[in-house]
Amino acid sequence: MTKYRVAVDVGGSFTDLFFVNEETGEHMVSKVPSESDGLNAVLKGIQKAGIPVPAIRMLTIGMTVATNAIIERKFPRTAMVTTEGFRDVIEIGRGYKDDLWDTNYDLAMPYVARRDRLVVPERVAADGSVYTPLDTERARAIARIIKKRGIESVAVCFINSFKNPVHEQAMGLILQEELGSDALISLSSDVLPEIFEHERFSTTIANACVSPVIRTFVRRLTSDLKQEGLTGDILIFHSGGGVLTAASAERYGARTASSGIAAGAIAAARIAGNCGFQNCIGLDMGGTSADISITVDGQINSTTDWSIEFGYPIGFPSLEVLTIGAGGGSLAWIDAGGGLRNGPQSAGSNPGPAAYSKGNQQATNTDANLVLGRLGGELLGGDMSLDKSKAETAVQTTVATHFGLSATEAAQAVINIANGNMAQAVRTVSIGRGHDPRDFALVAFGGAGPLHGAAIARELDIPTVIIPPNPGVTSALGCLLVDLRHDLSAMILRRGDELDTGDLMSAFDKLRQEGAERLEREGIDPSHHRFEYSSDMRYLGQWRSITVPVDPENISIETVLADFHSGHEHEYNYRREEAPVEIFRINVVAIGVTPPFELALGEPDGSEPEFRRSRPVVFDGNREAIDTPIYQRTDLRAGHRLDGPAVIEQVDSTVLIPPGARGTVDRYLNLILAV
């Protein structure tokens, strides 16, 4: 039986599936509307593709299950056990707010109610010594209270446990004994062993909250697919740009938050690399949001400073992606000053744009594109119909009447606002970080990205836009391009001039050993292990640190310090060679390399592309519609060239080539636009 690798991206509007034939490299895609139960959409997507479940050798899934659980607060009741006197750390936080000048702004309530944040006498000192032993009688009494309340997921967050986890481990054992083996116990010293108690507590609580949700989803998915005959592996994509086994995902559920977004960034970098670009900006515009990523010299930035909800950070490493409310379903609206705005509010998939005929009467980007002729009357290869008359009515009543414009002029204004918002986001991740966007290629994907990519590139003088073969399922492809990955870290807090190379190597070796043990428990042969080292460093007295890559084959204090000074100068435009440097934390990424695969390549056959029909389309800078050829993406072959204006339709997206731009199809069937 032919074997397939399958990647799934469970999004808010659609669930995307990407299938690769391991023997030939040929691929196919499937796209179905998402459901409240994400599992049903996955199974329907596999059935729609016609691939038998026993033929699946590996299934990788990126999902918004954890993200949605946090946003909507749909997770089981969770408890927290902490050191006496630290019950309210999670609520006090850092004392800042999203809008500094908004006196009426309040942070959202913590994920764990105060009555479920319980304290126990114990204290570990800053140097790791035991100052107050754990009161085991009180600990057991607390465990019984938690059991009586019917709580099965607990975060254990003791002060200074990153230095000495003995009390947390003892508390964890007591909780497991009292609550039973099915209880999920998250220890902060295991989840995120770092010094800052608010970030450590917050991450551990988030993990305790969503792990039961992830466990339920993963076990149901595994059970249903096994019943259908699946014998291959199920891997879960995480926000750090790697995958976890199903068992690890159950234990570290919060790692899967933001996983689909990270998958898109991975795919953009790989696609650009195939096209010969080591610098690229990823524009993933879907139904609700646009996710912007940047790749420099083939590397995607990562961060530990992020959150789903402001004030409650998740300290797991995550690929750095800027998300804004700009998608096909983003709503056009008039603000209090009478100005036209676009998003971040969205019509989502239900009711969706006015053209979906599900009851929404407010104009969206999809409606505006339909009025301009850039979209046709169908989506998903004919599975969904769009009503242009309802789109025109929505644009007219929402925007045109207010400003005294025609429906066409109003639709152009709506799209211009959306493009301006996305262009500004691209400036933030590029110019704001010292990078010139003219030195990058723009990879435009997602269901709506190819409609807007050329306009955004022209706004920013980006010379090249790359449209993948299946832009609407590109994030799913990203799930197939990564390896098994565990991110481990340890606090050091030592001045560089007080630490010798032997001490640094010893600290790295300890983390490497822990990573190797995790990979071996997951069945990864040692010959497939790979390790990446880095160090978080700062000038002594600074609050913020930067991450400096470390060569595991050539570790020396002198090299690490020199690399820090260079990195600091690039990030902040100055260096202080004379100032003492503090090594704040060291990091090891343990990677279990999965067997690589290559997509099938096409060869030019000397043919010319032929369009199937034409329709009037309004382009930027034109008030009148231009009769524009409409191509089908499945008709395009390697070597084909298309001069704008042109529209290319496909099952998962629509590509807009404006006048003056030229598109070329490469061997990977990417459409490369010179704009």
Contact 355/388 with Cβ under 8 angstroms? yes
CATH code: domain of residue 135: 3.40.50
- Say if residue 395 is in the same domain as residue 497: no
- Say if residue 80 is in the same domain as residue 193: yes
Domain contains 314: no
- Say if residue 203 is in the same domain as residue 84: yes
Domain contains 233: no
Predicted confidence at residue 521, as pLDDT, reads 83
pTM (2 d.p.): 0.82
Domain contains 123: yes
Which residue(s) pair with 334 in the sheet? 340
Other residues' Cβ atoms within 10 Å of the Cβ of residue 552: 15
Domain contains 359: yes
Domain contains 340: yes
- Say if residue 85 is in the same domain as residue 195: yes
Of 397, 417, 437, the domain-final residue:
417
pLDDT, one tens digit per residue, over 458-474 is 999 999 999 999 998 88
Predicted confidence at residue 587, as pLDDT, reads 92
- Say if residue 507 is in the same domain as residue 399: no
Predicted confidence at residue 396, as pLDDT, reads 96
Predicted confidence at residue 35, as pLDDT, reads 74
Which of the 8 DSSP states describes residue 634?
A: G
Residues 6+ apart with CB under 8 A from 408: 371, 372, 618, 623, 625
Domain limits for position 127? 74-209
CATH code: domain of residue 503: 3.30.1490
- Say if residue 104 is in the same domain as residue 191: yes
Predicted confidence at residue 301, as pLDDT, reads 82
- Say if residue 404 is in the same domain as residue 502: no
In SS3 terms, 313-341 reads as CECCCEECEEEECCCCCEEEEECCCCCEE
Of 592, 612, 628, the domain-final residue:
592
Cα–Cα distance list, 544 to 98, 154, 176, 387 (Å): 19, 31, 37, 52
Question: 């400036």: which residue's tokens?
Answer: 427
Predicted confidence at residue 383, as pLDDT, reads 74
Predicted confidence at residue 16, as pLDDT, reads 87
Residues 6+ apart with CB under 8 A from 226: none
pLDDT, one tens digit per residue, over 524-547 is 889 889 999 999 999 998 888 889
Cα–Cα distance list, 29 to 15, 46, 190 (Å): 11, 10, 39
Predicted confidence at residue 355, as pLDDT, reads 92
- Say if residue 503 is in the same domain as residue 579: yes
Domain contains 496: yes
- Say if residue 377 is in the same domain as residue 488: no
Ranges in the chain, pLDDT < 50 = none
- Say if residue 85 is in the same domain as residue 172: yes
**Count, residues in the chain:** 675
- Say if residue 412 is in the same domain as residue 494: no
Of 209, 228, 245, the domain-final residue:
209
| Total structural domains within the chain | 3
Contact 71/309 with Cβ under 8 angstroms? yes
Predicted confidence at residue 38, as pLDDT, reads 66
Domain contains 448: no
- Say if residue 412 is in the same domain as residue 520: no
The secondary structure element, H or E, covering residue 41 is: helix 38-49
* Cα separation, 3 vs 21, whole angstroms: 6
What count of Cα atoms within 13 Å lies in the side-chain half-sphere of residue 585?
21
Domain contains 351: yes
| Burial class of residue 346 in the structure, from the number of CB atoms within 10 Å of its CB (0-12 exposed, 13-18 middle, 19+ buried) | buried
